[in-house]
Structure 1
Amino acid sequence: MRFQAILLLPLLGLSSARLEPNYTSSSGVSIFNPSDFFDPTGPWSLMSQAGDTLYIAGMRGIYPSNSTLAPVGLPRIRQAFQNMATLAEMVGADLNACVRLVVYTTDMYRYRPMCNDVQIELWGADANKYPPRTIIEVDRLNQDDILEVEGTFYVPRAGLCG
């Protein structure tokens, strides 16, 4: 629980900021790449919004302040989840608005327990509050990373900026 409070402190200041989409398609899909976050490592965007649904791309444990990776293991996994939470907060959502998580890891045996620990830190010990999650072991991730987490969030249109 201590980690949750520490994690959310910097997010509180972001809640009043207005995040504008970088692009909105003719069908109303908004694409977001916040300028104060790290740049995507390829031809993709950090998040998109269609109607009341926010989609956050697979987040890695990259520090937004300098675009470097956190140390391997628990710090990197925490940072990946923190990146997802920060992006959701930028459009007015919180972790309780998460409707689905997908986690990709290169070593289920080693990193799944750490992923579980981070989720308990973020969502608390009440298993009834955990969003559905799929965790998949893969051979390789971008830049030989250890884990990515992507999230889908429900954010009523009135609550979204953009």
Structure 2
Amino acid sequence: MTHQAISSTQAPAAIGPYSQAVRAGDTVYLSGQIGLEPESGQLALGFEAQVLQVLRNLQAVVEASGGSLAQIVKLNIYLTDLGKFALVNELMQTFFTAPFPARATLGVASLPRGAEVEIDAVLVLE
């Protein structure tokens, strides 16, 4: 099976040797997004702003793959403060509706560029 790199100028460029997403068959694997604003390359200020920017970045890459957020089947969320778990749940509901994707949330010591949240995803195109 061949695979194809996917990218969007509406999301930040990769900050290392990886693709924003890779499609293999009908499955798209999205790399982790942090709250970098694509225009400036700067991290959004504040936790809530970072979460919303992460979700917008994921949405841009999903749309570049020809899909929609409704087709995401799995999310992994990495938080530097698990005390903000409830706020993440609240903000996610502005982007996702039932049936919600499967999900894991992990507490981590640190993230690239001092980010407070990172999310990666798996999308299945129909």
TM-score (norm 2): 0.92
> Contact between 2:10 and 2:60, CA under 8 Å: does it hold in 1?
no
Report what 1:83 is aligned to. 57
Distance in 2 (CA, whole Å) between partners of 1:31 and 1:92 is: 13
> Contact between 1:48 and 1:54, CA under 8 Å: does it hold in 2?
yes
Distance in 1 (CA, whole Å) between partners of 2:113 and 2:107 is: 16
Distance in 2 (CA, whole Å) between partners of 1:106 and 1:120 is: 21
**Unmatched segments (≥5 aa) in structure 1:** 1-26, 157-162
Q: Does 2:84 match 1:114?
A: no
Q: How many residues align?
A: 126
Deviation at 1:37, TM superposition (A): 3.6
State the identity %: 23
Distance in 2 (CA, whole Å) between partners of 1:60 and 1:40 is: 11
Deviation at 1:144, TM superposition (A): 2.0
Distance in 2 (CA, whole Å) between partners of 1:43 and 1:73 is: 26
Between stretches 50-59 and 90-99, larger displacement belongs to 90-99
Higher strand content, 1 or 2: 2
Taking a change above 3 Å as real, the CA distance of residues 82 and 34 of structure 1, as seen in their structure-2 partners, is closer
Between stretches 88-97 and 35-44, larger displacement belongs to 35-44
RMSD (CA atoms)? 1.4
TM-score (norm 1): 0.72
